[in-house]
Amino acid sequence: MRSASDPGDAVARHEDLEPARLSIALVDDDRNILTSVSMALEAEGFRVRCYTDGAEALRGLTGQPADVVVLDIKMPRMDGMELLQRLRATSNVPVIFLTSKDEEVDEVLGLRMGADDYITKPFSQRLLIERIRALLRRDRVAKEDLDPGSDTPIRRGDLVLDPARHLCTWKGEAVNLTVTEFLILRALAQRPGHVKNRDQLMDAAYGEHIYVDDRTIDSHIKRLRKKFKLIDDGFAQIETLYGVGYRYRDG
């Protein structure tokens, strides 16, 4: 796991996110968590909607999408894994899921299913707020022209990445990517043949002030490959260099 810089540096850049216009969906069967976390988020200016189970959340989010979803794994009626799977069938909404300290399998499985991040219970409300803001920044970076030339589509053979529209196609067919997956793929495709280690991909996808475990990047890479192979079983453009990192194959 890499080290993180002082999170206070990131706080200074939050003003332009305009949280009053952004909505957070909290999904947890623990009403104490819903109450305390929603109060903390509302104090930051976010609009918050709370759901006590996955089935209720799915109905609510289908009719009224959120900007970020924070969901618990263990819930009645429909657990977090099933809700995540159903959300990913139609939506790329950034998702953070909550998991107990000893549920490592759930962490990896959730990431492979398309979660963007996870936090282990018990957690700091300040940490959750920072992770939410980081996801919102990444979502904006993936969709808007924040860097010179970032709105120019990247074309690498059969791959087309359009950051301005958050659009990815392979051989003319759309590939439905989450924010994290899009940013990782863009980091690799920008310089074909050049190796990116896990720390570099973490910075590209999460920013310099968020630290995640190495297996998080590995899980996202596996999911990226799976999505492309659904379109083209021969897809092999993302190469693993064991002990080093990943690269997008040149040519």
Predicted TM-score (pTM) of this structure: 0.61
Closest to 96 in 3D by CA, of 121, 126, 71 = 71
Confidence band of 134 (pLDDT split at 50, 70, 90): confident
Q: What's the confidence (pLDDT) of residue 213?
A: 64
Q: Summarize pLDDT for 163-214 with one digit per residue, the tens.
A: 877 889 999 999 988 888 898 999 999 999 999 998 888 888 776 555 566 6
Q: Look at residue 245 and tell me whether its pLDDT is greater than 60.
A: yes
Q: What's the confidence (pLDDT) of residue 56?
A: 93
CA dist., res. 74 & res. 79, Å (int): 5
Q: Look at residue 160 and tell me whether its pLDDT is greater than 90.
A: yes
Alpha helix (H) ranges present in the chain? 8-11, 31-43, 54-63, 80-88, 104-113, 125-143, 179-189, 198-206, 214-231
Average pLDDT over residues 126-155: 72
Q: What's the confidence (pLDDT) of residue 88?
A: 86
% of the chain residues with pLDDT over 90: 41
The C-alpha angle with vertex 75 and arms to 69 and 78, in degrees rounded to 5, equals 80
Q: What's the confidence (pLDDT) of residue 12?
A: 35
Closest to 94 in 3D by CA, of 125, 30, 34, 137 = 137
Long-range contacts for 145-150 (Cβ within 8 Å, ≥24 apart)?
Answer: none
Q: Summarize pLDDT for 84-94 with one digit per residue, the tens.
A: 889 988 888 88
CA dist., res. 227 & res. 86, Å (int): 16
Confidence band of 13 (pLDDT split at 50, 70, 90): very low
The number of beta carbons lying within 10 Å of the beta carbon of residue 20 is: 10
Q: Look at residue 243 and tell me whether its pLDDT is greater than 70.
A: yes
Q: What's the confidence (pLDDT) of residue 209?
A: 55
- Higher per-residue pLDDT: 106 or 63: 63
Q: Look at residue 142 and tell me whether its pLDDT is greater than 70.
A: no
Q: Look at residue 15 and tell me whether its pLDDT is greater than 80.
A: no
CA dist., res. 162 & res. 143, Å (int): 9
Averaged pLDDT of the chain: 81
Give the pairing of strands 68-72 and 95-99. Answer: parallel
Q: Summarize pLDDT for 74-130 with one digit per residue, the tens.
A: 888 888 889 988 998 888 888 998 887 555 556 666 776 778 888 888 888 998 998
Q: Look at residue 234 and tell me whether its pLDDT is greater than 70.
A: yes
Domains of the chain: 8-143 (3.40.50.2300), 154-248 (1.10.10.10)
CA dist., res. 221 & res. 198, Å (int): 11
